[in-house]
A = this chain, B = another copy of it.
Amino acid sequence: MLVSALLTSVGINSGLCVLFFTLYSILKKQPSNYDVYIPRLLVDGTSKRISHFNLERLIPSPGWVRRAWNLSEEELLSTSGLDAVVFMRIITFSLKVFLVAGIIGIFVLLPVNCTGDQLQDIDLVDISNNSLDVFSISNVNSGSKRLWAHFCAVYIVTIFVCYLLYYEYKYVSSKRIAYFHSSKPQPHQFTILVRGIPVSVGSSISDSIQSFFTEYHPSTYLSHMVVRRTNKLRALINDAKKLYRRIIHLQSSPTQNKYRPGNCFGLFGRKVDIVDQYEKKLEDIQENVRLGQSDVSLAGEEIPAAFVSFTSRYGAAIAFHLRQSINPIQWVTEQAPEPNDVYWPFFSSSFMRRWICKLVVVVACILLTILFLIPVVFVQGLTNLSQLEVLFPFLKSILTITFVSEVITGYLPSLILMLFLKMVPPIMELLSSIQGYISHSGIEKSACDKVLWFTIWNIFFATAFSGSVLYQVSIVLDPRNIPAKLAVAVPAQASFFIAYVVTSGWTSTASELFRLVPFLWSLMRKPCTRSTDDDLEVPSIPYHRDIPRLLFFGLLGITYFFLAPLILPFLLLYFCFGYIVYRNQFINVYAPKYETAGKFWPIVHNSMIFSLVLMHAIAVGIFTLKKLSLATTLIFPLPVLTLLFNEYCRKRFL
């Protein structure tokens, strides 16, 4: 790839970003878009839809950037919880790392790389005509003493990253402790979930729990609640809740009805009618619920799982930590999740069934991760022009236009890949939910891990070793040759990944800000449905989509900083965008649905350690390739020390 090509890409994407940012500044101020861009403020009641028109609404303003910038960590903590703080610390952590790596990379390594002439001399007159490889380590002569600069850089950055990781982990865990100290007593802290309850013939699950806990925890046992399958009741109760909220809203603001905007079936009667109508409906539902509760078969069968509450948090902790039964697969205890966080559908009954589910899911994930690209390539193959013409004969006339056919052949395959990739986080979330987690947070954490490894495999390794799946797997199965193969394959893809940061990274941030999909969805929906603000659900940030993305860019930065330092400025810009955009979204869009109190940090920590070790493996390969065997030998302690550091942190903080 030539410098000019990169500059073009940077130009196009910068333009797109500016466009998105400007559009956002304007669209955000339109009351009809409030439910897309500031749903959180709308629900909180801090912003109302005011529809009087003024010119200011059409002029883009950077006020939201200032607001996002000025947000302090305490404010973020109080409004969005500790998870949001931890999320933002991933970005600030990356910024710190890549600032230091960037200074070393740009001011030390880049000149060293440019002055080498392994590939070609740099063309100082016509900079844009140089290949990007001139700026990478490939251009340094084999056996050159200058490679020691790279060697030192690897050491310095590793030490710096480890120091920061330690500091951040300490900070996050101190925040965790502070959070637990400051939080008021909450019901879920007094409760544990018990699964695998053995039932003797003739007695109910409830009796079994009652007798067990009154026998073994007589002084702290308070009450219990057996879990039931209640799909029908749950639907009714949800309906009732919705109606109730609507009635409350109508009663509290009697003028609301008159000003309701954009109602395409505007044939409703007076306000009082609506309230009455709603109240009648609510009564009906109430009746149904009562009927359902009295009918045992509808109330749902009992599941051998129960929430058991204790009189003190200490009592709950004891019951959670001590093994309850001589058979470890009976009376399995878990900490109860927050009430909002409970994920009901999969309270699968027996230990065996959950275990098998877990195995199946793990196998499915591994297969999905390894074999993902096969169907994608197949579908992409279907979209060549002749195939399309056969499948959709009526398109024939359009496809013959040169421009259209160029667009299709050029963009359709990558669009398909993008769409498939978009589907991965939801699929992984689904798989995690089958795995037997009982809380949304657990599901999301597990999905986060899965998506991260999926991304590393299917973007990093698949690009680096752009061969068949079998070839990739064979590399993993041959651990001795990994460094050598990485050293050949990874630097060759430097220019691709620089472009990837610019295109995928920057665009993803812009589209995160612009919320393209919700925006289009709201545009499509608006004319046909009565959208009331009370129906509005504030979205929660999908950590399992965004954390792996940030971490993947972190991995790219750490592995490429000494190979192709040119990637660092673009990464820094990406993280700067991310910093502003996500803070803005936390203020305006996302509300926390639950609080894991920073349990996402270990994922970040592990991912960074993996990045470091991968970087060391590449360095070993590179120095071998460049015939600097002393450096190769001296790199070896580094991964060992990094892994020991990781082990220490695991013991020290978890």
- When distances are taken between beta carbons in the complex, the residues of chain B under 8 Å from A480 are 474, 477-478
- When distances are taken between beta carbons in the complex, the residues of chain B under 8 Å from A327 are 652
- When distances are taken between beta carbons in the complex, the residues of chain B under 8 Å from A317 are 322
B177, B322, B359, B652: which contacts A644 (Cβ < 8 A)?
A: B359
What separation, in Å, do the CA atoms of A206 and B326 have in the docked complex?
Answer: 36
CB atoms of A328 and B651 under 8 A apart: yes
A411 at the interface (CB under 8 A from B): no
Contacts A318-B318, A318-B322, A322-B321; is A329 near B478 (CB within 8 Å)?
Answer: no
CB atoms of A651 and B355 under 8 A apart: yes
Interface size class of A (residues with CB under 8 A): 20 to 34
Indicate how many identical chains form the complex.
Answer: 2
A167 at the interface (CB under 8 A from B): no
Taking chain A's interface residues, is the majority helix, strand, or loop, or is none over half, making it mixed?
helix
What separation, in Å, do the CA atoms of A479 and B477 have in the docked complex?
Answer: 7
Q: Output the least CB separation between A188 and chain B (Å).
A: 18
What separation, in Å, do the CA atoms of A318 and B478 have in the docked complex?
Answer: 47
A653 at the interface (CB under 8 A from B): yes
Which residues of chain A from 154 to 181 have any CB-CB distance to chain B below 8 Å in the complex?
Answer: 173, 177
Q: Output the least CB separation between A218 and chain B (Å).
A: 11
Closest-by-CB residue of B relative to A644 is: B359
CB atoms of B326 and A177 under 8 A apart: yes
What separation, in Å, do the CA atoms of A480 and B473 have in the docked complex?
Answer: 11
A367 at the interface (CB under 8 A from B): no
- When distances are taken between beta carbons in the complex, the residues of chain B under 8 Å from A636 are none
- When distances are taken between beta carbons in the complex, the residues of chain B under 8 Å from A173 are 326
Closest-by-CB residue of B relative to A174 is: B326
Q: Output the least CB separation between A221 and chain B (Å).
A: 14
Give 1 or 0 for each of A456-499: 1 = CB within 8 Å of chain B CB: 00000000000000000010011110000000000000000000
What separation, in Å, do the CA atoms of A355 and B650 have in the docked complex?
Answer: 12
Give 1 or 0 for each of A339-378: 1 = CB within 8 Å of chain B CB: 0000000000001000100010000000000000000000
Closest-by-CB residue of B relative to A322 is: B321
Q: Output the least CB separation between A492 and chain B (Å).
A: 25
- When distances are taken between beta carbons in the complex, the residues of chain B under 8 Å from A359 are 644
What separation, in Å, do the CA atoms of A640 and B321 have in the docked complex?
Answer: 32
- When distances are taken between beta carbons in the complex, the residues of chain B under 8 Å from A648 are 355
What separation, in Å, do the CA atoms of A247 and B326 have in the docked complex?
Answer: 47
Contacts A359-B644, A480-B477; is A652 near B329 (CB within 8 Å)?
Answer: yes
A407 at the interface (CB under 8 A from B): no
Q: Output the least CB separation between A329 and chain B (Å).
A: 6
24 pairs from A and B in contact (CB 8 Å cutoff):
A173-B326, A177-B326, A317-B322, A318-B318, A318-B321, A318-B322, A321-B321, A321-B322, A327-B652, A328-B651, A328-B652, A328-B653, A328-B654, A329-B651, A329-B652, A351-B651, A355-B651, A359-B644, A474-B480, A477-B479, A477-B480, A478-B478, A478-B480, A479-B479
Given contacts A317-B322, A351-B651, A478-B480, 17 further A-B contacts (CB under 8 A): A173-B326, A318-B318, A318-B321, A318-B322, A327-B652, A328-B651, A328-B652, A328-B653, A328-B654, A329-B651, A329-B652, A355-B651, A359-B644, A474-B480, A477-B479, A477-B480, A479-B479
Q: Which 8 A/B pairs are nearest by Cβ-Cβ distance?
A: A321-B321, A477-B480, A177-B326, A318-B318, A321-B322, A329-B652, A477-B479, A317-B322
